[in-house]
Amino acid sequence: MKKIYSIGFFLLLASGVVAQQDVQNSQYMFNQLALNPAYAGSRDAINTGMLSRDQWTQMPGAPQTFLLYAHGPLKSKKIGLGFQASNDKIGPKSVFGLSGDFAYRINLTNSSKIALGLRYGMYRYSFDWSVMEYKDLNDPYNTMEQTHKMVPSADFGVYFNSLKYYAGISATHLFGDKSFTEGVENPTGTIAELKPHIFTNGGAAFILMDNLVANPSFLVKFVESAPASIDVNLNFLIDEKIWLGTSYRVAYGMAFLAQYQITPKFKVGYSYDFGFNRIGRVGGASHELMIGYDFRISKSAVISPRYL
């Protein structure tokens, strides 16, 4: 069988993007719930937000991502709950996900905590075969319009934070669940498979002067059949209102981001990514918009600068 969507879609496949199945974004250090379920409730506020990402805008069929999230602690602050809804589209494939997060937080000292988190979700894979162009008109997929499959997923994570530092490690899609085709001749039969991912990240907040905070951080991602992805980030908070920063992704490229704290509760952010490698040069830049709103759970609730 030979199927053609566009030269861009082949480049996506060749670059290993399909193996990176979890939602990708450049502003993850400001909301780590997508990386780690143990992050739920860590901000001492009910944090809500949405993110829209348009990746490699010059390449037909490139990833387009939308993410909606909310999380916060219960009254005791020992338990955090979270919710996420996402839609990720690449070429003929789109994935809609719904998941719930549970975290249990343990006080280590007056200013440091460690949390254990669990997430369970369902992913609906949709394949729109009608957008493909077929060299072989007798290809059985050419007679199909859409295929839909449901795939469950379970994740686990550990998250530590203090006034100055944070670190986390998580494993997603622990069961490596698969979904299979029906009525279509296929050597493997598998059209949807969630492979386990490992995320480890950390960061710190340093007060350089009264109106300037530096936030260095890193993220390392591991997934089967793809090289490790390593991000190094450096962001600055100016006057507790404006974030400016940059990220470098090894063997890919760079991102620049800016966020503005419109009110103590409401913020907007934007990032601009570009790649130095082949897919980055062909695909062009990526654009990402984030909007966040915090519902304070008490008048004394204080959000550490590194989480904003």
What is the distance between the alpha carbons of residues 243 and 257, in angstroms, rounded to a whole number? 8
Give the residue extent of every domain in the chain.
3-307
CB 43 within 8 A of CB 303: yes
Q: How many CB atoms lie within 10 A of CB 261?
A: 18
The pTM assigned to this predicted structure is 0.84
Q: What is the pLDDT of residue 146?
A: 65
Q: Which of 236, 241, 200 is nearest to 216 (CA)?
A: 236
Q: Hey, is 307 helix, strand or coil?
A: helix
Q: How far is CA 158 from CA 73, 200, 205, in A?
A: 16, 10, 20
Q: How many CB atoms lie within 10 A of CB 266?
A: 12
pLDDT in tens, 27-66: 999 989 999 999 999 987 899 999 999 998 888 888 999 9
Q: How far is CA 139 from CA 24, 130, 134, 136, 190, in A?
A: 32, 12, 7, 5, 17
Q: Which of 256, 245, 190, 250 is nearest to 212 (CA)?
A: 245
pLDDT truncated to tens, each residue of the chain (308 aa)? Answer: 444 444 444 444 444 444 446 777 899 999 899 999 999 999 878 999 999 999 988 888 889 999 999 999 998 889 999 999 999 998 888 899 999 999 999 999 988 999 999 999 999 988 876 666 655 555 555 555 667 788 899 999 999 999 899 999 999 998 766 654 444 444 445 455 678 899 999 999 999 998 999 999 999 999 877 788 999 999 999 998 999 999 999 989 999 999 999 998 999 999 999 999 888 788 889 999 999 999 987 664 444 444 44
Q: Which of 69, 155, 58 is nearest to 116 (CA)?
A: 155
Q: Mark 167-180 as b/e (b = at least 16 C-beta within 10 Å).
A: bbbbbbbeeebebe
* CATH 2.40.160.40 describes domain 3-307: yes
Q: How far is CA 95 from CA 6, 45, 51, 124, in A?
A: 20, 29, 16, 6
What is the distance between the alpha carbons of residues 199 and 21, in angstroms, rounded to a whole number? 13
Q: Hey, is 99 helix, strand or coil?
A: strand
Tokens at residue 285, please?
Answer: 């830049």
Q: Which of 204, 276, 270 is nearest to 25 (CA)?
A: 270
CB 146 within 8 A of CB 93: no
Q: What is the pLDDT of residue 187?
A: 43
Q: Which residue has the tokens 């949709």?
A: 126
